Amino acid sequence: MELTTNNVWMMICTALVFFMHMGFAFLEIGLTRKKNTINILFKNIFIITTGLLLYGIVGFNLMYPGFAEGALGVFGFAGFGLQAPILEGALDLAYSEGYTYWTDFLFQGMFAATAATIVSGAVAERMKIFPFMIFTVIYVGFVYPILGSWKWGGGFLQQLETPFYDFAGSTLVHSVGGWAALVAVILLGARIGKIKEGKVQAIPGHNIPLATAGVLILWLGWFGFNGGSVLSADPELTSLTLVTTSIAAAAGGVFAAIVSTIVFKNLDLTMFLNGILGGLVGITAGADQMSPADAVLIGAIAGLLIVAAVSFFDRLKLDDPVGAIAVHLVCGIWGTLAVGLFGVLASVDQFLSQLTGVAAYAIACVLVSFLILGTLKVTLGIRVGEKEELEGLDIHEHGMSAYSN
């Protein structure tokens, strides 16, 4: 009965994480122009469908290879396809106390696609669709699971004397996507009209209500993202995790709104929304280890970082239409380091382990992303032409429009 209860909770969380893809789609659509809506929707649908197939074929067994004793814990592969453990002709329910093999695969598969979705928003409105699809296949199918094995698969970061800690993916999911997004934005350059006479110009999104709905859907989905990472229906731990997740989100939003109002002299809803997301990303590494007071501090600092990071990237003339790099990379790093500063695990040794993990993922993600995207840039090209960008990717890449007028 306990296994059934745990497994049902994990399947509910899986559904919530799946629902996050609608949130990402709404957010990206809302914060960009309507002439690129089909393009964004196509990319998001491609990511979740292709991501699940790839994770089933190779990704799951790359991420959980079962490193042999004494292995370096950098790369392993348990074979192609899904092979559930069978005992006496039936599914071996001793696979885990919290879920079955099939539930484990599906829950982890939902996480895998999120990394590429982060990149989708950052490159919106000017990246060619086919190079993006190639990048997604490589990054979701191979890069993400290999990097994930370093911690969640029992690799070298888990084997440190003080193990690196990332409860639900501030680094393993969000920073992995955020580093790739940063590289892509650098290689692509800014959208036409974003920079005039050396000054950064605002390019408003066409549907802010839709973007707001997207953020609220993502917040709801985060209950599955973090709550499911308990890997059981443990009442105390799941309840605490959902409380810290929500409090950090609220603090992130409020502090981003306050700071942006002071700095920019206007009540900017998009900063409010990204502050919420920043708080969610920030708490994700240690949601099960924090008190509510810790969650307020982590979320509040994430909200401050959102405003500072958006301004910083604007000064560097890095064009990120949805603020994905500020949210997922900057707050992902912050949340990961916060595990060594707040909560049950706080210590100098833990902070150093967190720093080691952040550095390892930064180096790997930047190098691999530059290799993949740089190769695509010099071969296929990664940016659409001027005419295509001005008239919209929907017509030129897909031959259709999302709206009748």
- What pLDDT tens digit does each residue of the chain (405 aa) get? 688 999 999 999 999 999 999 999 999 999 999 999 999 999 999 999 999 999 999 999 999 999 988 899 999 999 999 999 888 788 888 888 889 999 999 999 999 988 889 999 999 999 999 999 999 999 999 999 999 999 999 999 999 999 999 999 999 999 999 999 999 999 999 999 999 988 999 999 999 999 999 999 999 999 999 999 999 999 999 999 999 999 999 999 999 999 999 999 999 999 999 999 999 999 999 999 999 999 999 999 999 999 999 999 999 999 999 999 999 999 999 999 999 999 999 999 999 999 999 999 999 999 999 999 999 999 999 999 999 999 999 999 999 999 986
Note whether residue 340 is domain-resident: yes
pTM beyond 0.85: the answer is yes
**Which residue from 129, 224, 115 is spatially nearest to 178, judged by alpha carbons?**
115
The CATH number covering residue 109 comes to 1.10.3430.10
Task: Provide the sign of the torsion angle of the four alpha carbons 258, 264, 265, 268, taken in this order.
Answer: negative
Note whether residue 240 is domain-resident: yes
Radius of gyration of the chain (CA): 20
* pLDDT value, residue 196: 92
Note whether residue 317 is domain-resident: yes
* pLDDT value, residue 197: 87
* pLDDT value, residue 1: 65
Note whether residue 158 is domain-resident: yes
Q: How far is CA 188 from CA 128, 193, 283, 337, in A?
A: 10, 14, 31, 30
Q: What is the DSSP-derived secondary structure letter of residue 394?
A: I
Note whether residue 234 is domain-resident: yes
* pLDDT value, residue 113: 85
User: What phi, psi does 300 have (nearest 5°)?
Assistant: -65, -45
* pLDDT value, residue 354: 98
* pLDDT value, residue 83: 92
Give the bridge partners for 399, in sequence order.
Answer: none
Note whether residue 115 is domain-resident: yes
166 sits in the region (left: phi over 0; alpha: psi -120 to 50; else beta) called beta
Note whether residue 27 is domain-resident: yes
Where in the sequence is the domain holding 161, given as residue range(s)?
A: 2-67+85-398
CB 118 within 8 A of CB 277: no
Quote the number of domains for the chain: 1
Note whether residue 74 is domain-resident: no
**Which residue from 86, 73, 85 is spatially nearest to 152, judged by alpha carbons?**
73
* pLDDT value, residue 318: 97
CB 164 within 8 A of CB 151: yes
Residue pointed to by tokens 């060619």: 128
